[in-house]
Chains A and B, each alone.
Chain A
Amino acid sequence: MDLSFALLELASNSLDAGATLVKIRLRVGRRACLKVSDNGRGMDDETLKRACEEGFSGKGSSGLGLYKTAKYANQSGGSLKLRSKIGKGTSAILKARQFETGDMASSLAVILDDESDIVFKARIGLKRIKLDTRRLRSETGGISLSDARKKAVIKKYVNENLK
């Protein structure tokens, strides 16, 4: 379990919830912190309470994703906190003290989508990294990932900035 894995976990949940905009804030280091918030369909109080339970899933999946993420966070002296409102969206804050950064680029490559926008801001040491697909869309005249040229732009950005 590392930060890139956690990001993949949380952001995939956001996309599965029908989000059109996923905002990600990442700070690595001793006080690592990952915030993922979306405008998906959200969870009611009942579901929210059980979200991190082993085997519990609101979408027919294995029910292990949030459980694992929360478990490893707690083991390292950190925590995973979820807030959600039906119809508005969900936000997750992961505080993890001993997580390594991992392969951010590949996680982002997986969640990049035709239908939703990702805003990714990270502070890794003294470096500040930003990926905003809304801006990329307007710059390249609407991103369609089937367009090889535009895909190349994203791939290049991901590879270069997030080694």
Chain B
Amino acid sequence: MYRTHILVCGGTGCHSNNSGKIREAFEEQIKAKGLDKDVCVVGTGCFGLCAVGPIIIIYPEGAFYSCVTVDDVPEIIEEHIVKGRLVERLLYHEKALGNKAVHSLAETNFYKKQTRVALHNCGVINPERIDEYIARDGYQALIKCLTEYEPQQIIDIISASGLRGRGGAGFPTGRKWQFAKNQVNDTKYVCCNADEGDPGAFMDRSVLEGDPHAVLEAMTIAGYAIGSHQGYIYVRAEYPIAVERLKIAIAQSREYGLLGDDILGTGFSFDIELKLGSGAFVCGEETALMTSIEGHRGEPRPRPPFPAVKGLFGKPTILNNVETYANITQIILNGAEWFASMGTEKSKGTKIFALGGKITNTGLVEIPMGTTLREIIEDIGGGCPNGKKFKAAQTGGPSGGCIPAEHLDIPIDYDNLISIGSMMGSGGMIVMDEDNCMVDIAKFFLEFTVDESCGKCTPCRIGNRRLLEYLEKITTGKATMQDLDDMEQLCYYIKNNSLCGLGQTAPNPVLSTLRYFRDEYEAHIKERRCPAHVCKQLIQYKITDACKGCSACSRKCPVGAISGEIKKKFEIDQNKCIKCGQCIATCRFGAIIKE
């Protein structure tokens, strides 16, 4: 049997950093040394600490190596595998522990503060081997459901657990399944929303790449609970590795008879089909998603009727997010009370967050609901790098809002976030520091939503575009205070009148940045100044008295905007300046500043 396990992270992040080649190198060299009966090399899913990939974890020691390259492989084998000595220089050094070389993963702050439920298999098993999934209690929940529970009992368990949709809206999952079960119809559908369109979100991707069977098993359980025999997974085509792993997982499940007719001899039949998205953000919206599966252009439909009553192909359908499904098997195995014991009163369980932006530990973390934003950003995330000050964290992507420093101690849950003008969203969290301009951030999200609007309803199609135009006016210093009021009015109009969630939530980034950072908007308008020095039109490059008149900057300037006499202070012509920053980079005396 294998006494040593070398786990190589194969998530998209590490993969694009050659983790595949690292795994191959391990396999080759282990075999060459004749250790292949004793040492197994496993490619796993995303481990989570993406900032320091490629990541290798070696058991039984739990040694956590980071930033590994192919050239390190011989040393790791020689020192750790053969001699049992950990390779100190490659061990992950956690700043919070005073740069002490961390030996096992369990010792890092990053890991200690997490509660990995949906991610419990990610980074541990080889997602392409169904046996490893089974070894870690895979398909035990399905067996339990098919042999011990009636469909209604399963729905009761899910309801009691308090699980709410992890896609962003937070609708109680048990209730959704109940609505569908209550419909009397021979044909019902179980759908999985794997479209994950929010910029910066990759929670679902990691689950699909690292533990696809968890989703398959959960969907099968859902099918049994509501009375459905067909499932669809709508996965975005921009996730090729996830698509590949899903295909392999479905094939292996079918081979073992865990999908298809008469599953495990219980008489229950259920199968799953994969549908690829085509690059439209709006298809992450439930009715647009179903319309897309049906073969039409992805456009949302008015509700009622709700999908649980009349959904895909007009049949009762449940649509749940990947992460929601990833929790199901754990709830069945450990019980509703166990799940409900974590989190806050109205938001039970855990949530995966994808930390991105100005944060040291970019990557994936799963924490119990109720953890404060401060703990996530400072303890787990390692704070803002380069000593910069935290300014705000954006949750919910283009539909969400920003949380400023004053709310750092808020316990994260669905309702709390809404009360401060943001939302949980799918879990993407973009951290911003003092060098980010909040107006620019709002503009970034609006650019995205305007591009992705399907165009069906006027408030979104035209309203959001007008909203973007206001933001462009503000960031180029051409707006008035009246424009600010009009823009705010427009936001409320769009929210109240759009057909689907995309339009209804598109103004959120604007409203929330206005709420907490109104002063930045006013500076752009009244003073034509961008406090964070981001909005290009509003930055002025100035030469100070430290100038020695050496003419180096004027010779580097690509548009000849700098002039002067040798040994005298040079000057920048603001009308010619294109704010490229070459002059600042060239000056050896630090005499040029942005203001």
Contact = CB atoms under 8 A, between A and B. Distances in A.
A–B direct touch in complex (beta carbons closer than 8 A): yes
Interface of A: 5, 8, 103, 105-107, 109-110, 112, 145, 148, 151, 154-155, 158-159, 163
Contacts of A106: 550-552, 555, 588
B565 interface: yes
Contact of B567 (A103, A105, A107, A145): A145
B549 interface: yes
A8 B566 contact: no
A39 to B, nearest CB: 22
B555 A105 contact: yes
A155 B549 CA distance: 11
B533 interface: no
B555 A159 contact: yes
Contacts of A8: 588
Nearest to B549: A109
A159 B588 CA distance: 18
A142 B551 CA distance: 23
Interface residues of B, number: 11
Interface in B554-595: 555, 565-567, 586, 588
A154 B566 contact: yes
A109 B588 contact: no
A110 B548 contact: yes
Contact of A155 (B552, B566, B588): B566
Contact of A110 (B550, B555, B586): B550
Given A5-B588, A107-B550, A110-B548, A155 B555 contact: no
Contacts of B555: 103, 105-106, 159, 163
A145 B588 contact: no
Given A106-B588, A148-B565, 6 more contacts: A105-B555, A106-B555, A109-B550, A109-B566, A110-B549, A110-B550
A60 B567 CA distance: 23
A151 B566 contact: yes
Contacts, number: 40
B569 to A, nearest CB: 13
Contacts of A154: 566
A159 B567 contact: no
A135 to B, nearest CB: 18
A110 B570 CA distance: 13
Given A106-B550, A106-B552, A155-B551, A112 B588 contact: no
Contact of A112 (B552, B567, B586): B567
Contacts of A103: 552, 555, 586
Contacts of B565: 148, 151, 155
A158 B566 contact: yes
A159 B529 CA distance: 36
A163 B586 CA distance: 14
Contacts of B566: 109, 112, 145, 151, 154-155, 158
A151 B551 CA distance: 13
A105 B588 contact: no
Given A5-B588, A112-B566, A112-B567, A159 B551 contact: yes
17 contacts: A5-B588, A103-B552, A103-B586, A105-B551, A106-B552, A107-B550, A109-B549, A109-B550, A109-B566, A109-B567, A110-B549, A110-B550, A145-B567, A154-B566, A155-B551, A158-B566, A159-B555
A59 to B, nearest CB: 18
B346 to A, nearest CB: 60
A8 B566 CA distance: 15
A110 B589 CA distance: 11
A103 B586 CA distance: 9
A112 B566 CA distance: 9
Contacts of A145: 566-567
CB-based closest 4 A-B pairs: A106-B552, A106-B550, A110-B550, A109-B550
Contacts of B588: 5, 8, 106
Nearest to B586: A103
A107 B588 CA distance: 10
A53 B485 CA distance: 62
- Chain A CB within 10 A, most for which of B549, B552, B566: B566
Contacts of B548: 110
Contacts of B552: 103, 105-106
A159 B567 CA distance: 14
A8 B586 CA distance: 15
A148 B567 CA distance: 12
B557 to A, nearest CB: 13
Nearest to B567: A145
A42 B325 CA distance: 80
A110 B550 CA distance: 5
B333 to A, nearest CB: 60
A8 B552 CA distance: 13
A107 B586 CA distance: 12
Contacts of A155: 551, 565-566
A64 to B, nearest CB: 14
B568 to A, nearest CB: 9
A107 B567 CA distance: 11
B424 to A, nearest CB: 51
A4 to B, nearest CB: 9
A112 to B, nearest CB: 7
Contacts of A109: 549-551, 566-567
Nearest to A103: B552
Contacts of A159: 551, 555
A92 to B, nearest CB: 19
Contacts of B549: 109-110
A107 B550 CA distance: 7
Contacts of A112: 566-567
A158 B567 CA distance: 13
A152 to B, nearest CB: 8
A13 B118 CA distance: 66
A159 B563 CA distance: 13
Contacts of B567: 109-110, 112, 145, 151
Contacts of B550: 106-107, 109-110
Contacts of A163: 555
A51 B349 CA distance: 66
- Chain B CB within 10 A, most for which of A107, A109, A112, A163: A109
Nearest to B565: A151
Nearest to B587: A106
A104 B552 CA distance: 9
A12 to B, nearest CB: 10
A105 B549 CA distance: 11
A110 B567 CA distance: 6
